[in-house]
Amino acid sequence: MSAAPPDNDVLWARGIVKSHHGTPALRGVSLRVREGEMLAVTGPRGSGKSTLLGCLSAQLPVDEGEVWFHSAPVHTLGRAGRERLRRERFGWVGSEPHLVPELTARENVALPLLLAGAGHRAAHRAATEWLDRLDVADCAKLRPADLPQDRRQRIAVARALAPEPPVVFADDPTAPLHRDAREQVLRILASAARSHHLTLVLATHDPELARYSDRTVHLVDGRITAEPAAVPAVPAGH
């Protein structure tokens, strides 16, 4: 039996192998993510970034290897256990803003807080604060269909951050945004992660955006090719 990972790692993975319908996506990936760290996963299209985030965030079961969250095994959980872990401990921002179309922006952001048991007033107050941080407070009463893509994405970021989960996964979160908005949303993600001591795992094509992270791992063809020494991060709020 293998040893449990070190206590100070939030996420710890060893030898992850994962295929999609016979197409190998990850071919033995090992990595660790420390508490409060902002880790960027870079690599060309099809290199396995989304699959890696899927395996680390318990969305996808691994074919081989181990994934641990705070010294508890994830790779041995069944579907229900993985779903509970995701719902209770992880936030997710995808490259497309998937919001509930019938709800206003504020209701969308409040929803995960209400599902976690918060009272209506507290959930709506927190949602308003997060919309304000993401610079979309003016959209609070509008529904997703009335908003452009980049505003919807900011709301999706607010929704992921509002419950302040221990880990937020962001899979190419700036893809729907224009250049200036990309920088701003990334800065907000980075500063929220730092001020709320969240751990952030971010997949991106853009090495420039990886500058906001504490550390980068680079994937090529389902393998980590290099884990460069920490590059100077852009200070939050700049």
Ligand X SMILES: Nc1ncnc2c1ncn2[C@@H]1O[C@H](COP(=O)(O)OP(=O)(O)OP(=O)(O)O)[C@@H](O)[C@H]1O
Residues near ligand X (CB under 6 A) are 20-21, 23, 25, 43, 45-51, 205
CB of 21 to ligand X, least distance (A): 5
Using an 8 Å Cβ cutoff, are 219 and 42 in contact? Answer: yes
Vertex 104, ends 175 and 107: CA angle to 5°? 95
CA–CA distance, 95 with 170 (Å, rounded to integer): 8
Give 33: exposed, middle or buried? Use CB within 10 Å, 0-12, 13-18, 19+.
buried
Q: Which is nearer to ligand X, 21 or 121 (CB)?
A: 21
CB of 225 to ligand X, least distance (A): 13
Handedness of CA 86, 88, 89, 93 (dihedral sign): positive
CB of 129 to ligand X, least distance (A): 32
Q: Which is nearer to ligand X, 44 or 235 (CB)?
A: 44
CB of 140 to ligand X, least distance (A): 31
Residue whose pair of structure tokens reads 């969250």 in the numeric block: 69
Q: Which is nearer to ligand X, 24 or 73 (CB)?
A: 24
CB of 101 to ligand X, least distance (A): 24
Q: Which is nearer to ligand X, 114 or 220 (CB)?
A: 220
CA–CA distance, 201 with 169 (Å, rounded to integer): 5
Q: Which is nearer to ligand X, 22 or 117 (CB)?
A: 22
Where helices occur in 90-223 by DSSP H, the ranges are 105-115, 120-133, 149-161, 179-195
Q: Which is nearer to ligand X, 39 or 111 (CB)?
A: 39
CA–CA distance, 14 with 125 (Å, rounded to integer): 41
CB of 200 to ligand X, least distance (A): 17
Using an 8 Å Cβ cutoff, are 16 and 64 in contact? Answer: yes
DSSP secondary structure letter of residue 95: S
CA–CA distance, 229 with 214 (Å, rounded to integer): 9
Q: Which is nearer to ligand X, 15 or 24 (CB)?
A: 24
CA–CA distance, 25 with 222 (Å, rounded to integer): 5
CB of 223 to ligand X, least distance (A): 12
